[in-house]
Structure formats: C-alpha cells, structure tokens
Structure 1
Amino acid sequence: MDLMNGTQVTVFVFSGLTDDKKLLPFLFILFSLIYIISIVGNIGIIALVYNSYKLHSPMYYFLSVLSLIDVLYASVISPKMIFDLLLVNKVISFTGCALQFFFYAALGASEDFLLSTMSYDRYVAICHPLHYMSIMTKKKCLCLVSVVFSVGFLQSSVQTSCTFSLQFCGSNLIDHFYCDVPPVLKLSCSNTFYCNMVTLCIVAIGTVIPFLTIIFSYMLILSSILRMTSAKGRKKAFSTCSSHLMCASVFYIGLFFNYLRPPSSVFSSQDKVSSIFYAVVTPMLNPLVYTLRNQEIRRTIEKAMHNLSAADRISSVFRHKMGT
C-alpha cells in the first residue's frame, strides 16, 4: 500500500507533553529514568528466566514473553518522546508516524491477549494441577504465543491501513506526543466514520474478549481455591496469581482510561497523563510487580546476587594473592 498516495501531508508535528519550558528538564530526567528502568528490569526478567532452571516452566515462559513485549513496547514511544523534550519542532515523517502506530498497536494488543493467556495458564495450574504439565506442553505454549502475536499484528494492520490510507491535506499538528489513531484522524480531510467504527470495534472486541477471559479464569480459580482445605495451599495459590492479577489490573486501568470512554473534541492534559501511564509507565511496572510479589523470582534474584558477591570475593582474594 502506498501510504503517500493522494495526500499532501508528508510530515506530522507533535504538540508535545507540555508548553511549560521549566518542566522540560525535569520531564527529560524522569522519563529517561523510567525508560532505563523499563529496559533493564524487563531484560533482567528475561535473563533470569533463561538462566535459571527453576524458572523453566510455562508460567515464567509467558512472563519472559511479556517482558520482551514490554521492552519493544517501551522502545516504540519513549525514545522519540524523550528526544522531543529537547527539541522545539517535534517532527515525524508520515511513514514514521504510520510505523510508530503500527508497532504500538500491535504490541499493545499482543500484551492484551498474552495477559489472558497467562490467566488460562494460572487456571490450569490451580484447577488441574495433576495434569498441568501434560496440558501446558512446550508445543502448546509456543502455539499460544504465536496466536497472541498473530492476532496482535493482524489487528494493528487493519487499523493502520485504514487510518493512513485517508487523505491528509490540512493541518499536520498532532495534539499528542506520539502517533495514535484518535488525534491523527482529527487531521484527516476524508470521511473518517468508517475508520472510527473500525477502530472502535477492534479496540472493543480486542479488549473485551481478553478481559472476560481473565475474569472467567479467575472466577474458576477463586472457586477452586475456596474449596481447598489447607490454608497453606490457599496462600500458595493466591501468591502464584497475585503478580499476574496486579499486572493485568494496571494494564486494563490504563487501557480503559485511554480508549474505552466517550470521545472529546479537545485532547486535554488529563488525556496525555493517561496516555503516559498506559504507554510509558506500564512497561516499567510489570518487572517491578513480579520482582516484589513473586517469591520464586525474588529467591532467584537473591541467589544470583549472592553468587555475584561470592565470585567477587574469590576474585579479590585471587588478585590479592597474585599481588603478593
């Protein structure tokens, strides 16, 4: 598809986060730290899962995929947004805008469906523990992840092709800090009714189905936990679900505030704050939640830190002996 066919606009300009120049240095430092924590935290989770044999289970395999999505998801928006804080003219090409939205929507949808897949994994682990490994085989996990990415990228392809095939022949000022469908559609001089309906249907269906899957899974999980006679068993079951439940809650709170609400003609500062939370902060929270709430992850981190400390002491002793 030729994105430039029939359009006079070749570049878009972002309005940015704020017009207050005094805030820009603070925001630059803040969002740079958030981005660094997001990347380091999620790559750390991937490394832990890959290197620790105890974490080689479907639950942590899905967690490592979630961390991979968050690394890519944060990198689609944050670097450009941070760099723009230093610039007067926050410019992005038409094709660059389309690509940014494509990967942003694809990865967001993939995370949405992955969270529902993780809830299914928790349902099988708690409600059918004796058959867990026979149900959640390596092949099935790979198939589920493949479906997650396929649906996410297919959904994004439809939205992107619909939006960026429109005519853009007027203002090129996007009242936002990244390319998202609602502010971009406001700039089109074509009839946007069809694209608005497509976006609404895709976001609604792509949100409601995974959300209901999570709710239904946890209803069955809760029912199974309440039937357990052992208090220790109930506590362990709750602890294995709490991290995922918190991550899903954070994701859907941001999603609902960002998209599933009545549209307004003016993109307010509150809209930008909700977008920051959803697109920038959420990727940082997932590794923090699992680090703080998941005992197995914490034990693995503590063991790795202990091994590093021991290796450092041995290295120091060896260097001291070599010196003498």
Structure 2
Amino acid sequence: MSAAAALDEVVVRNAEPILDDIVRRLKGGGLIPYLGPGVLPADAGVPTSYAALAEFFSAKVALPRRARGNPWASAQFIEGRKHRKTLDALMAAAFAEPVAPTPLHEALASCPQIPMIVDSWYDGAMRSAFAQRRNRSAGQGPERAADWGEVQGITRAGIGEFLWFRFYDAEGGEVSAPQDEWRTLLYKPHGGVAPADNYLIADSDYVEVLTEIDIQTPIPEIVRARRTNCGFLFIGCRFDDQMLRLYARQIMKRSKGPYFALVEPDGLTRNELRFFETEAITPLAASPARLAERLTELA
C-alpha cells in the first residue's frame, strides 16, 4: 500500500461532523484534551517543537554530533558536562517569554465541565488562560479562583525525596495534595516553566519514570481517577518518537475512550499511523484553530 493510500485509510479527511461530536463530549466532560507543542503559533517566542528545542540547545552549547537534533540527548550532555543547574537555566531561558493563550486555550479554560487537561509542553499558556478567565469573572458572581489546580511531573535529580510530581494551586503556590474544589485539573507530565521551573527533559530524568510508568507509579492518583470515564483528544501532538508514544499510552491507560487526534495528515510517519491504529485513536484532518472555532460557535 502506498503512503497516500495508508493516509486515506486511517485519517478522516472530512472532520466537521466528528468535530461537532467532539465539542459535545468536551462540554459534557467526557473528553480530556491532551495538548502538545503544536497548539502554539510559530511566533510564540518559545520553542514550538522538540526539534526547535534541540536547535535552541545547539545554539547555546557545543554539542557532540550524536546529541545534535535530539533534545533529550542534548539535555543529558549538558547536565553531565555542565551541571543540572545549567540545564534548568537553559530551559528557563528557552521558555522565559510569556506565551499568550491561543483561542483554543481560552475556549478550553471556559469549559468547567472538563475534568482534566493534559499539557505535554513546557509553556505556561494554559495556566494563563485560567488566570484570564478568573479576571474576567471577577465581580460577576461567585468567585471561581479555586475551581482548578495543577500537578506537574518533576525531575528527581538531586531532590533527595521520593517524589514524582508536585501540586500547585491557582495562585501558583505549592500544596501537599489536590483540593476538593478543583473541578478541572491541569496535568503537566513533563513539568513546565510556570509556576516553579520543573523540567523533565534529560534522558536521566526518564530512566526511573519509564521503569515505573507501566505500573503507573509516576502518574498521580487523581489523574488515574479522572481519566476512568473519559476519552482523550490529542491536539498539536506528534508521536514520531517512541518515548512520546509510550507516555501517551500510559496516561490514557484504563480510560474509557473514545480517542481522537487532530493532525496534519501529510506530515505523519508510518509509526504514528501504526500508533493510532494500535491505540484505536481516530486521526482527524483538523487544526487546533478550527476546534477553537467550533467550541465557541457551539457555546
């Protein structure tokens, strides 16, 4: 079978009817958005792909040929040769520019029925969208500042604690556990620049995580609970690397379904197509911007 035929067999080109169903499921709390770097515009001011992050590392540090183009290997080299603090400082510099929420971030933040949003990139746009929603609602009824919270994966390098993640409230303060009033949970499995500069990026960060992830230890219990009766919608995600596929598979594990992915068909690899088929994910030829429009239109 040709590559074009394989695409036509797997990818739904006429996505509009299914988008309407997806919007209803999102607004009803039955789908969990899973955001990747592709939800950001090219001019966001931060790296918007793993390839761009690898280029950022190469521009800052002289890397061996084997590490160039691979963000995880690049980060491992920097940590090993220059110290973890240098790597963390470079990640903070890469994502220092505040990213304005896109219409999609804003639309998702305006859907309080969504039990959880998974954000797999390091920017703070989703947190900012929640903050903007709070500001808009100030003085317009009951205070909703505490109806969401966040959990981030953390590196275990040098922390001296048996921790896989940390919780943060809407103000950015660390809390010991998720709060009962959190209607929506923001889950950043790889960490993020806000509010506390947590980053999983080096190969060493993932050694223990990938050893334990099959038995779900690194995934917070609240994440496991909230996914149970839901499906997932992958937006702006690529699965052209085995680690990215493994993480997505483990995060959606034991969830109810259904599963969808918004994709740009012509750029998909055979491994990605195989991943969609294996995990029963329906790939749709639709953009994050179009989903944002439909969420707004069907408000």
TM-score by length of 1: 0.25
- Larger relative strand fraction: 2
More helix per residue: 1
Tell me the TM-score normalized by structure 2.
0.26
Q: Which has the larger radius of gyration?
A: 1
